[in-house]
Structure 1
């Protein structure tokens, strides 16, 4: 049996060539995607602001430890692409290259303050 690790992945990107419909929908929902709504979840948490330039997703990905952070990043980027394509009633929104940063929660060292 392989060991599973839990990863927190932040996927970042830039909106590109937004249609008027996509821009309107994103602006209508901007309050639902602000900084106060950021959470790491398996479904992903999308954040952006009214400028509609940059966005980020936060994901929790559980994957085989042997596959490492690269696989966790690839899985999260795939989820983000699917979510972006589903926005706007299925018409999707334009976006550029996605980039990710990954933290392996199972190997993260926690420094405790001594008394």
Structure 2
């Protein structure tokens, strides 16, 4: 079996933030800008608290089976929840979406490259 790469996106909404928590998120907003978003094993958080209370964590994981994809998604949700609760941030509507990159359709450039290699 080969190792497959998974991308897991965990979304939610901050809930019941205090003025101090909101100020802390605003102060650290540059590090969590969506333009810096990346799928990482530790998870990358992005948000724009000045515009809305939604946030997104992006996780990268690996596995060999379809069941591993489900496990990776559960692990990502648990990591996001632990990060938020560990800092005392309230949240709601936590949900995840997982993608197995080996099953993702090829983009136009990838199709062209595959056709040229054949």
TM-score range, shorter chain: 0.7 to 0.9
RMSD of aligned Cα (Å): 2.0
Normalised by the length of structure 1, the TM-score is 0.83
**1:97 counterpart SS class:** strand
1:26-67 Cα deviation digits (max 9, x unpaired): 011111111121000001110000234100000002234141
Once the 2 structures are TM-superposed, how far is the Cα of residue 4 of structure 1 from its aligned partner? Answer: 4.0
Preserved CA contact (<8 Å) 1:41 1:59 = yes
Which residue does the alignment assign to 2:70? 70
Normalised by the length of structure 2, the TM-score is 0.81
Which residue does the alignment assign to 2:100? 104
Q: Which protein has the bigger helix share?
A: 2
Moved more, 9-18 or 50-59: 50-59
Preserved CA contact (<8 Å) 1:61 1:75 = no
Q: How many angstroms apart in 1 are the aligned matches of 2:105 and 2:81?
A: 31
Which residue does the alignment assign to 1:37? 36
Structure 1 residue ranges without an equivalent (≥5): none
Moved over 4 A (4+): none
Once the 2 structures are TM-superposed, how far is the Cα of residue 23 of structure 1 from its aligned partner? Answer: 0.9
Which residue does the alignment assign to 2:14? 15
Aligned residues: 110
